[in-house]
Structure formats: C-alpha cells, structure tokens
Structure 1
Amino acid sequence: MKSPVFFALLILITSACTKSSLDGIWDDNIKLSAKEINLSAHRDSVSITTEGSWWWIDGIGLDDNWNYQLDEIDTTKDNFTIEEADFRIERIEGTAIHILMEKNETGAARVLKIALQAGDYFDAIQVTQASE
C-alpha cells in the first residue's frame, strides 16, 4: 500500500517541472535585431545587434556545407573574427555581429546560416546573397 507521503512527493515533483525548466524552451535571451538578411551579389555586408551578450556560435553553414571548424576559435569571447574565402563573421564587443560576404560568382544565390546558442536557447541568422 502506497503512503500519502509518496503521493504528496509525486505531486510536488511533477508540479515543479514547468515549461521554463524544460530543455530547449528557454525564452529568447539573445534578441537578434534581424534574423533573415538579403545581400546583393557584389561584396556586401550587414551588421546585426543583440540585446544579450551571453551567447556563442554553435555552427556555420554555407549552402548546407556545415564543415567549417570552430575548434580553434572561442566564440564565447566578446571579440573574435572567423575568416573564410567566401565570408567573414566578426563579433564586436559582445553584442554586434558584422557579416561580410565576398562577391558571389557562383551563378546561383547562396545562403549563409549562423547557428547561435545561449544556454538552452537556440537561434539562427540566415544571410541570402543574390546571384549575379
């Protein structure tokens, strides 16, 4: 026979599991000024701001190629630069992201995706660069 204490503990434990304590259900603590950006085919750039500064880059993909290595870069720092042949991503003073896309000579639009994380909150920036 189960005791009333067991049932009381069960109710207390299940009621303590609220929506805000579940993985991946955190409120937006990055607060991007823009999430989807369109750039011209020419060498072009954009600056995005964040209200939060406790975030990091979780991954980078250009046209679904997610093989950009971030192992050598501490993306939790307030200032860093990621330089590749087709783009440059720079974090400035913790709350600004400057993205530069080199001239698009591929003949097709290309899409740069930057995955961001802050605790259990996930967000992304998508930069679409037009074709010539």
Structure 2
Amino acid sequence: MEHRYIIIIALFVLVFAGIASCEDIQTETNTDETINLSNNNIELSAKSDSITITSEGAYWWIDHVLSNNEYFAPKLTDIKNSEYHVDGDWFSVKKEGMRTLTIKVKKNTTPYNRKMRISIQSGTHTEQVLINQQGKE
C-alpha cells in the first residue's frame, strides 16, 4: 500500500515538472515580432527613383520579393549588420542596418505599370510592401 503512494507521488512530480519545463521553453522562444513599416503602399512615377522605408522593430528580414510572377530570394550581404539585398532587372531592394529598407527602381520605358511585392518577416509575423511604378506616358 505504501509502495502505491510513492509511485503516485513520483508520477505527480514528473507530470508537474514536465508541464513547468514546457512553460519555460515557450517564454524563452518568444520573439519581438514588431515590424511596423513607415510605408507599405508606394506609388512611383515612370522615372528612376528610390525610396527609404523605416521600421519600428529591428529584428526582421526580407523573406522574398515577387515581381511579374517571378520569385526573388534575398542574399545576405553582411551578417553582422543584418543586411540583405534582392536585385531584379528593374529594381533593387536592400535592408540596411536594423531598421531601414531601401528600394530603387530603374526608369520604366514601357507603357505598362510595373508591380512588386516585398515580403518582410519577423518570427511568424509578416508585412507586405506593395510597389507600383507607372508606365511612361
């Protein structure tokens, strides 16, 4: 009978320890998922142009860029300063430092608008930057 109480108490302690350790793991892996971009819908003329966007959060990265149904993956240029860049035939997107995104576009010599979607990610949170460059008149 006494043996049964010892086993029950031991099981209770193991279950409690397992639950407590799971809570510690969850709080340790929580990340600050704040991005809060200063602008996420940008209209540009057909001229060559550049724009700088800032963020409230610092721990984010360029996940990908979509342009004309083409997927562009970022390249890490400076791991120490968390700098990434993506280059396409008519654009360049670069994360400079912890809170700055710079977008450069070449002159649009076609009569058609050019569109791009930049996906920014922090943890499980994602924000999009939509770029529309007008066609030449």
Equivalent runs, 1:43-122 vs 2, <5 Å: 43-66=48-71, 68-70=72-74, 72-73=75-76, 78-122=82-126
Q: State the structure with more CA Rg.
A: 2
Residue 51 of structure 1 aligns to a residue whose secondary structure is coil
Q: Judging by fraction of residues, say which structure has more helix.
A: 2
1:14 alignment partner in structure 2: none
Residue in structure 1 matching 2:37, options 23, 32, 36: 32
Higher relative contact order (CA 8 A, sep 6+): 1
Runs of at least 4 residues off by over 4 Å: 74-77
Percent same amino acid at aligned positions?
A: 26
Report deviation, 1:119. 0.6
Q: Judging by fraction of residues, say which structure has more strand.
A: 2
Verify: 1:130 aligned to 2:134, yes or no. yes
Q: How many residues align?
A: 108
Q: Which structure 1 residue ranges, 5 or more long, are not aligned?
A: 1-20
**8 Å contact 2:33–2:59 — kept in the other structure?**
no
Q: C-alpha separation between the residues in 1 aligned to 2:125 and 2:82?
A: 19
Map Cα deviations across residues 44-100 of structure 1 (whole Å, 9 max, x no partner): 11110001111111110112222x233x43697522333332111121211011100
Tell me the TM-score normalized by structure 1. 0.70
Q: Cα–Cα, structure 1 residues 64 and 75, in superposed 2: closer, same or farther, change >3 Å? A: farther
Tell me the TM-score normalized by structure 2. 0.68
Report deviation, 1:27. 8.8
> Alpha carbon RMSD of aligned pairs, Å?
2.5
Q: C-alpha separation between the residues in 2 aligned to 1:27 and 1:103?
A: 38
Map Cα deviations across residues 9-37 of structure 1 (whole Å, 9 max, x no partner): xxxxxxxxxxxx9xxxx996101000100
